[in-house]
Amino acid sequence: MPRTSAAVPRPRRITAAQVAELAGTSVATVSLVVNDKTAGRVSTANIERVRAAVDELGYVVDHTASSLARGTSNIVILIAPDLSNPFYGRVISGIKDELGSEFQLLLSITGEGRNPSAADVHRLIALRPAGILVEAPDDAFLRDLPAGAPLVLLDAPGRETQAVTVNFDLAHGINALLDHLAERGHTRIGYLDSRTRTETFELRRILVETGAAARGMEYVSRPEAASLIDPDAAAEAFLEHWPAWRESGVTALVCATDSHAYGVLKAARDLGVRVPEDLAVTGFDNLPASAIVSPALTTVELPGEALGRGAVRALQAQRLSPEPVTAPLLGATLIVRGSTA
Amino acid sequence: MPRTSAAVPRPRRITAAQVAELAGTSVATVSLVVNDKTAGRVSTANIERVRAAVDELGYVVDHTASSLARGTSNIVILIAPDLSNPFYGRVISGIKDELGSEFQLLLSITGEGRNPSAADVHRLIALRPAGILVEAPDDAFLRDLPAGAPLVLLDAPGRETQAVTVNFDLAHGINALLDHLAERGHTRIGYLDSRTRTETFELRRILVETGAAARGMEYVSRPEAASLIDPDAAAEAFLEHWPAWRESGVTALVCATDSHAYGVLKAARDLGVRVPEDLAVTGFDNLPASAIVSPALTTVELPGEALGRGAVRALQAQRLSPEPVTAPLLGATLIVRGSTA
DNA sequence: CTGAAAGCGCTTACAG
DNA sequence: CTGAAAGCGCTTACAG
């Protein structure tokens, strides 16, 4: 939206001065009352007068002026690489829940798995946020991020030393998944990666690779097998790589997300590859549709709401004390359905 | 997140005064340069000096102070009733696209189809937003909404007289859907509604009802058949109402969204109801998973990204001139898949 | 073209 | 307990 000189006049807003006049107090007293800082500083009589005046006039503290005076706003920023993955909807719900109505959530999305540019980040810092949450950051981004607000990383395994981080217990979920595949007799495993190069996907791949080896299964490496988090893109990737996987004897394909797996299911159906008879398919997330696709999808459930809530709690802990907080890992649970059994 | 006195000191930020000093100009000149208002008011030499100083110091205009001085911020607020429907992800993408980097998107979600309370809205207005976008508002909400910023409604048919509104051409999509069902020989049609009581769902139901009658089909009214926008909730609703629908001879069930239809597909499978032989099922949205569920879902595609983009454009038009703008209806296209054929 | 100054609406020491 | 006043960091008439 191009910037324009607003042609529409804004209605006059009620100010603390008007409240003070009606209540017969000073502006300072109004501020103390509306901010609940009256303890031992404002008489009961004045508290009541101010409250009455606030109600009568419908006064609301101007966030802009308040933020300028206090040096910080009530805005919490969530920086996420994408929104096409429905998984983020859950994370956002969790964040909103825990944030309450005191703070506002501002969304910064850049799409296609990219992180915001340095200029974008500067614009965000200029809002004087009360906190910044970053989902799946990359290296360059963390290097450029100017200190300016409490920071919490979400789903960024390996970054625990750089900032407070809230993570899933991926190892637990992936071990359960590989145990399940080994039990089912699979010996060669393929992996369809996400093209967004973030730590969480890096770790998922590595855990599958090392876990497969530990169970005597062969991990058939195919680094080019990757797509955006989108069923259509994943279907295309599968069509391209399936011949090589089949050639290598792959009978189980682990996908980086449920959205990837959806595309694989569709492409497999189009090719006449039977799931799970010819190929077992699994995902991560456990999106609502995973119980309904056909065959239903075996997946490692990642509790997105808990991630959002945990991040806000970590932010709050950081505001209270600057010492780094270690958040417990959030459970990742294997859900077995028809796509592997 | 409970409010706390920040214990972490904020780093000093660069101010316009520091830039002015380094550049050897006044603060006023710095402001003119960084806001691109130099035409005929700042010499080339000073423009360059200021630019150099800005770069050297890494100066960024403080959004808070700027908003206070100008009386309006660069924040655009999106008020949406829910985020569980992946459809909103698309709308948000469209909004971000069209908004560009100049404006920031602030998300206000209240969950479960409710609109924000009057108190919530006041807190939002206190941010002095550059604009407010409201997805699927209800009556009470629009009545309480204080004038305070340009307003645009999304997917709110029938509200065109109350505010600038961007809508889908639901009639077109629904007519195509009913033609398709009539051709397939269906004579009795059921409807699984959304429990969120917003205009768009009201209109979908009415158009199906009147359109069915116009084609000589019977609309089997069952107002209690409604659920939240969630496959599990929809599955439960279907289990409850299917006996009555079957009794009434219903052979086609139109669902208010794809997410509703997913639940129906799952519940039908559990009951042994064959789709489409025993029951044809349709949705609205065309989410990515709709091509992958089994059977694949016939649905009326609603272009969410276009909705988001159109809303931002309408906002911009409103900022330029207060006269109401009529946005063209956005195409709604029937997509036929296995669930009806 | 330039800059001093008022003003945006708060919050917070400070003096009483 | 109370209020006058400084200050937050900008933008914008205004006088030159």
Q: How does pLDDT run across A239-252, given as a tens digit for each residue?
A: 999 999 999 999 99
Nearest CA among A123, A119, A118 for reference residue A106? A123
Distance CA B117, CA A275 (A): 48
Chain A residue numbers touching B62 (CB-CB < 8 A) = 68, 126, 128
Q: For the CA atoms of chain A, what is the radius of gyration?
A: 26
Cβ contact A29 with chain D strand, < 7 A: yes
Residue A47 has pLDDT above 60, yes or no: yes
CA separation (Å) from A30 to A34, A74, A102, B121, B125?
A: 6, 19, 19, 21, 20
In B66-130, which ranges are E strands?
A: 75-80, 104-109
Q: Which CATH number fits the domain that encloses residue A192?
A: 3.40.50.2300
Gap from B129 CA to D1 C1', Å: 37
Calculate how close chain A gets to B238, using CA atoms only, in Å. 14
Calculate how close chain B gets to A148, using CA atoms only, in Å. 6
Note whether residue A233 is domain-resident. Answer: yes
Calculate how close chain B gets to A215, using CA atoms only, in Å. 32
To which residue do tokens 């029938």 refer? B158
Q: Quick one: pLDDT at residue A9? A: 45
Q: Chain A: residue nearest B55 by CA?
A: A119
Residue A120 has pLDDT above 50, yes or no: yes
Cβ neighbours of B270 (radius 10 Å) = 11
Do residue B176 and residue B295 come from a single domain?
yes
Residue A10 has pLDDT above 50, yes or no: no
Gap from A40 CA to D5 C1', Å: 22
Q: In terms of DSSP H, where are the helices of A81-145? A: 87-99, 118-125, 139-144
Minimum-distance CB partner of A61 among B10, B89, B126: B126
Q: Quick one: pLDDT at residue B12? A: 67
- Provide the b/e sequence for B11-26 (b: ≥16 CB within 10 Å): eebbbbebbbebbebe
What are phi and psi for residue B79, nearest 5 degrees? -105, 115
Q: Quick one: pLDDT at residue A215? A: 97
Q: Which residue has the higher pLDDT, A114 or A197?
A: A197
Do residue B276 and residue B210 come from a single domain?
yes
Interface of B with A in 310-339 (CB under 8 A): 312-313, 315-316, 318-322
Distance CA B171, CA B188 (A): 20
- Inter-chain CB proximity B127 and A289 less than 8 Å: no
Note whether residue B231 is domain-resident. Answer: yes
Do residue A174 and residue A278 come from a single domain?
yes
* Best to test chain A binding among B14, B292, B316 (most A CBs inside 10 Å): B292
Strand pairing report for B131-135 and A104-109: unpaired
What are phi and psi for residue A311, nearest 5 degrees? -65, -40
Nearest CA among A220, A212, A218 for reference residue A179? A212
Minimum-distance CB partner of A86 among B13, B89, B266: B89
Nucleotides of C strand lying within 7 Å of any protein CB atom = 1-5, 7-13
**Shortest CA to C1' contact from A39: nucleotide:** D1
**Shortest CA to C1' contact from B63: nucleotide:** D10
Question: Any long-range contacts for B153-161 (C-beta under 8 Å, 24+ apart)?
Answer: B154/B91, B154/B307, B154/B308, B154/B311, B155/B199, B155/B200, B155/B307, B156/B198, B156/B199, B156/B200, B157/B199, B157/B200, B157/B203, B158/B199, B158/B202, B158/B203, B159/B199, B160/B326
For A17, half-sphere exposure in the C-beta direction (CA atoms, 13 angstrom radius) is 1
In B64-212, which ranges are E strands?
A: 75-80, 104-109, 131-135, 151-154, 164-166, 188-194
Note whether residue A10 is domain-resident. Answer: no
Residue A106 has pLDDT above 50, yes or no: yes
Q: What is the DSSP letter of A168?
A: B
Q: Chain B: residue nearest A88 by CA?
A: B89
**Shortest CA to C1' contact from B32: nucleotide:** D11
Cβ atoms of A329 and A169 within 8 Å: the answer is yes
Cβ contact B16 with chain D strand, < 7 A: yes
To which residue do tokens 């129906």 refer? B264
In which domain, by residue range, is B126 found?
Answer: 75-167+305-328
Residue A321 has pLDDT above 90, yes or no: no
Strand pairing report for A333-335 and A298-301: antiparallel
Do residue B238 and residue B259 come from a single domain?
yes
Q: Quick one: pLDDT at residue B105? A: 92
CA dihedral (A309, A315, A316, A320) in degrees, to 10, reads 160
- Inter-chain CB proximity B11 and A148 less than 8 Å: yes
Do residue B208 and residue B237 come from a single domain?
yes
What are phi and psi for residue B158, nearest 5 degrees? 95, -10
Distance CA A215, CA A140 (A): 36
- Inter-chain CB proximity A100 and B1 less than 8 Å: yes
Q: Quick one: pLDDT at residue B35? A: 96
Q: Per the structure, how many domains does chain B have?
A: 3
Nearest CA among A195, A113, A157, A143 for reference residue A327? A157
Q: Which residue has the higher pLDDT, A121 or A180?
A: A180
**Shortest CA to C1' contact from A19: nucleotide:** C9
Strand pairing report for B218-219 and B164-166: unpaired
What are phi and psi for residue A269, nearest 5 degrees? -60, -45
From B32, B61, B90, the end of a domain falls on: B61
Cβ neighbours of B306 (radius 10 Å) = 17
Do residue B262 and residue B293 come from a single domain?
yes
Q: Chain B: residue nearest A117 by CA?
A: B101
Cβ atoms of B267 and B242 within 8 Å: the answer is yes
Do residue B265 and residue B181 come from a single domain?
yes
Do residue A292 and residue A192 come from a single domain?
yes
Distance CA A277, CA A280 (A): 7
Chain B residue numbers touching A34 (CB-CB < 8 A) = none
Q: Quick one: pLDDT at residue A50? A: 97
* Best to test chain A binding among B64, B266, B323 (most A CBs inside 10 Å): B64
Instruction: Tell me which H or E stretch contains A192.
Output: strand A188-194
* Length of chain A, in residues: 341
Do residue B46 and residue B101 come from a single domain?
no
Note whether residue A154 is domain-resident. Answer: yes
Do residue A146 and residue A233 come from a single domain?
no
Question: At A112, is the pLDDT very low, low, confident or very high (cuts 50, 70, 90)?
Answer: low
Residue A282 has pLDDT above 80, yes or no: yes
Do residue A117 and residue A135 come from a single domain?
yes
Gap from B200 CA to C14 C1', Å: 58
Residues 6+ apart with CB under 8 A from A277: none
Calculate how close chain A gets to B92, using CA atoms only, in Å. 8
Residues 6+ apart with CB under 8 A from B246: none
Note whether residue A218 is domain-resident. Answer: yes
Note whether residue A333 is domain-resident. Answer: no
Q: Quick one: pLDDT at residue B222? A: 95
Distance CA B110, CA A137 (A): 27
Distance CA A332, CA A207 (A): 13
Do residue B97 and residue B114 come from a single domain?
yes
* Best to test chain B binding among A68, A105, A292 (most B CBs inside 10 Å): A292
Minimum-distance CB partner of A316 among B4, B67, B122: B4
> Which stretch of A75-84, A253-262, B19-28, B225-234 has the lowest confidence by average pLDDT?
A75-84
Cβ atoms of A200 and A256 within 8 Å: the answer is no
Cβ atoms of B311 and B103 within 8 Å: the answer is no
Cβ contact B69 with chain D strand, < 7 A: yes
Note whether residue A260 is domain-resident. Answer: yes
> Which stretch of A51-55, A103-107, B33-37, B176-180 has the lowest confidence by average pLDDT?
A103-107
Residue nearest to nucleotide C13 (CA to C1'): A28
Gap from A28 CA to C12 C1', Å: 9
Q: Quick one: pLDDT at residue B134? A: 92
- Inter-chain CB proximity A105 and B103 less than 8 Å: no
Note whether residue A234 is domain-resident. Answer: yes
Q: Which residues of chain B have pLDDT under 50?
A: 3-10
Nearest CA among A331, A294, A42, A311 for reference residue A151? A311
Q: Quick one: pLDDT at residue B337? A: 97
Strand pairing report for B280-285 and B226-227: unpaired
Minimum-distance CB partner of A1 among B2, B4, B103: B103
* Best to test chain B binding among A12, A55, A63 (most B CBs inside 10 Å): A63
Residue A333 has pLDDT above 60, yes or no: yes
CA separation (Å) from A137 to A70, A141, A315?
A: 29, 6, 16
In B170-244, which ranges are E strands?
A: 188-194, 218-219, 226-227
Calculate how close chain B gets to A330, using CA atoms only, in Å. 19
